[in-house]
Copies of this chain bind each other. A is one copy, B any other.
Amino acid sequence: MDSHLPEPEPLRALIDALRRLPGVGVRSARRMAYHLMQHDLAGAQLLSHALTGALQDLRHCRMCNSFAEEDICPTCVNPKRDASVLCVVETPADQNMIESSHGYRGLYYVLMGRLAPLEGVGPQALKFDRLLERASDGVVKEVILATNFTAEGETTAHYLSDMLTERGLSVTRLARGVPAGSELEYVDAGTIAWALMERRKA
């Protein structure tokens, strides 16, 4: 059904740009563009401003590398947090997940990615030297590696573990196992295998 009438160039450009958003194909992009231009010019204005604002004002916290407006983010300057523990995550979303567990009161370091040699993302692209410097401040005693339990996340954790252990830091990894609340019948075999290997005294 793509025998469309010629679309005006500014509309076509907007549709193309909206397709850069994750999960947005050409159909939704067209629906979004039409919606904004037909019914929500103020929303289009707002979104344009918000993008410019974020591009201009959003930076990375000098301590944790997460998004921040300030030089150092509110989490890193919070005196109530335990500065002797540093939790390394891939993304701000992962950081939020850990925060929402209410099980952690230490500080964070956000890699903003993971090692992915096939995509050309190596230790330099992820600025591992900055993490090393951060973890070697003399206050941090333990580094918890909370990268994902995917192939790339594991590779990243292994690499970081070697690098940080060499500096005499205590390095731990999030425990693998059966998810809380789940029935064994529905847990995948690999997880069961891990849970067996890492079984603990009841």
Residues in chain A within 8 A of chain B (CB atoms): 1-11, 13-14, 16-18, 20-23, 28, 30-38, 40-41, 43-58, 66-69, 73-75, 91-93, 95-97, 99-100, 102, 112-113
Contacts and interface: CB of A to CB of B under 8 A. Distances in A.
Given A1-B97, A4-B96, A91 B34 contact: yes
A179 to B, nearest CB: 14
A55 B44 contact: yes
B37 A20 contact: no
20 contacts: A3-B100, A4-B99, A5-B92, A8-B57, A8-B58, A8-B67, A8-B68, A10-B50, A10-B57, A10-B69, A14-B54, A16-B50, A17-B51, A21-B32, A21-B36, A22-B32, A23-B31, A36-B51, A38-B112, A48-B48
A6 B14 CA distance: 31
B54 A51 contact: no
Contacts of A49: 17
A31 B22 contact: yes
Given A16-B50, A33-B54, 14 more contacts: A3-B99, A4-B96, A4-B99, A4-B100, A8-B57, A10-B50, A18-B47, A18-B50, A20-B47, A37-B67, A38-B91, A38-B113, A48-B48, A51-B51
Contact of A5 (B33, B43, B95): B95
Residue from A8, A13, A28 with most neighbouring chain B CB atoms (10 Å) = A8
